Amino acid sequence: MTASAARSILPPLSAEERRHSEAVLARIRTELAAAGGWISFERFMELALYAPGLGYYSAGSVKIGPGGDFVTAPEASRLFGCCLARQCAEVLRVSGGQILELGAGTGALAAVILPELAALGVLPERYAILEVSADLAARQRQRLAQLPPPLRERVSWLQRLPERPVNGVLLANEVADALPCRRVRWREAGLEEIGVSLDESAPVTAAEQEARGSARSALCERPVAADAALRRAWDEICAAVPGPLPAGYTSEVCLRLPAWIGSLAECLQRGLLLICDYGLPRRHYYHPQRVQGTLRCHFRQLAHDDPYINVGVQDISAWVDFTAVAEAATAAGLALSGFATQAAFLLGLGIEARVAAADSDREQVRLAGEARRLLLPEEMGEAFKAMALTRDFAAPLAGFEVQDLRHLL
């Protein structure tokens, strides 16, 4: 999708959104000036999403759910949380301890998991939430305040990962895809990194922005020679793919992933780190036919691939290289205990029985529709994967009994 095509399908920004986007762009322009006119895409993505008080995840706006920019699985159906509760219960029965959810969105997942665990008689000692967005944390507090007091009192919020390792379950649902990544392009002359500069040749006035309805940023891509770290990562990628990559091949490389997984591994003394996200094994992620990579932006339930418009008021993400996740986890001392599509994961946790147990025919029809969205290949069922990473935990995991895709990693 071209930038002009992206602008043509998107609804216009409100005056407040335009003002906010301009404030984010001013912060990025300041950074560009200090850096000599060029920053990596990784740094651009970090500022657009996480700049304090300005970035998409740091400033106040409705991001998730029908009134936001995208819908996550917990928002799509309570069935997702019901199934995850069963997986958590299996682990807590063995390891004891707590649940730590990273990036809890609107609190939808916690709001389902805690009552389900109470019904199963396997409540965690604490349900901790690590949330970088102040407005999302406020929405979580409001939603979880509706839980019965014995459940509500188990919930706490953290500013950083716990200093001491914990027993139990770490949940990362649609978190890894928002890690800032670097972008690369393969040329016959070698690998180049795609960075960001100001497009001085294409100034855009406020009146022109008003007419377009979207906040065009006057930012542009500018390639530079890849550094040693990127070249090493690219060599590993090329060794894994099924064939040579064509000239002009563009994709993403998340160099922050190993450190992120390492920090989570340090938090886990015994139990499960469960990662659910859209992504692929490396040989499929960097397939020669995937010539434009996986970068996606979301604005008001519409997906496009131009990160340089609506900066600060749209989501930016990239699919997860699950081979990189597995390698980082193994290096950090975790065991790779399962890898499956979301469909297989939820089937293993009894989603069909949940639908069949509906109180009425009408309720069963509704739940069946929600289950299809979670399970069908053209919906969330195949694009999303679940990965189980464990420490000092050898018990079976029901979510990974239907399918084992670890050989693809």
Q: Rounded to an integer, what distance in angstroms lies between the CA atom of residue 235 and that of residue 67?
A: 42
Binned at pLDDT 50, 70 and 90, residue 132 comes out as: confident
Predicted pLDDT at 60: 58
Q: Rounded to an integer, what distance in angstroms lies between the CA atom of residue 95 and that of residue 168?
A: 6
Report the range of poorest mean pLDDT among 3-12, 73-82, 163-172: 3-12
If one looks up domain 3-68+178-253+292-319 in CATH, what number appears? 3.40.50.12710
- Tens of pLDDT along 19-63? 999 999 999 999 999 999 999 999 999 999 999 989 998 875 555
The length of the chain in residues reads 409
| pLDDT surpasses 50 at 208 | no
Helix (H) / strand (E) element for 198: namely strand 190-198
Question: Are the CB atoms for 15 and 206 separated by under 8 Å?
Answer: no
- Tens of pLDDT along 71-101? 789 989 999 999 999 999 999 999 999 999 9
- Is 3-68+178-253+292-319's fold the same as 73-177+322-408's? yes
| pLDDT surpasses 60 at 237 | yes
- Residues near 91 by beta carbon (within 8 Å), at least 6 away in sequence: 168, 169, 271, 272, 393, 395, 397
Q: What is the residue whose two structure tokens read 């670890």?
A: 406
Show me where the domains of the chain are located.
3-68+178-253+292-319, 73-177+322-408
| pLDDT surpasses 60 at 215 | no
- Tell me the two tokens of residue 287: 């397939």
Highest mean pLDDT out of 8-22, 48-62, 351-365: 351-365
- Tell me the two tokens of residue 95: 């390891």
Ramachandran angles phi, psi of 70, nearest 5°? -155, 165
Question: Are the CB atoms for 92 and 122 separated by under 8 Å?
Answer: yes
pTM across the whole model: 0.92
- Residues near 237 by beta carbon (within 8 Å), at least 6 away in sequence: 253, 282, 286
CATH class, 73-177+322-408 region: alpha beta
Q: Rounded to an integer, what distance in angstroms lies between the CA atom of residue 390 and that of residue 336?
A: 7
Question: Are the CB atoms for 116 and 82 separated by under 8 Å?
Answer: yes
Q: What is the residue whose two structure tokens read 């297989």?
A: 344
3-class secondary structure for 137-172?
HHHHHHHHCCCCHHHHCCEEEECCCCCCCEEEEEEE
Average pLDDT over residues 299-327: 94
Q: Rounded to an integer, what distance in angstroms lies between the CA atom of residue 17 and that of residue 13?
A: 6
Average pLDDT over residues 259-264: 98
Report the percentage of the chain scoring pLDDT > 70. Answer: 91
DSSP per-residue codes, 325-372? HHHHHHHTT-EEEEEEEHHHHHHHTTHHHHHHT-SSHHHHHHHHHHHH
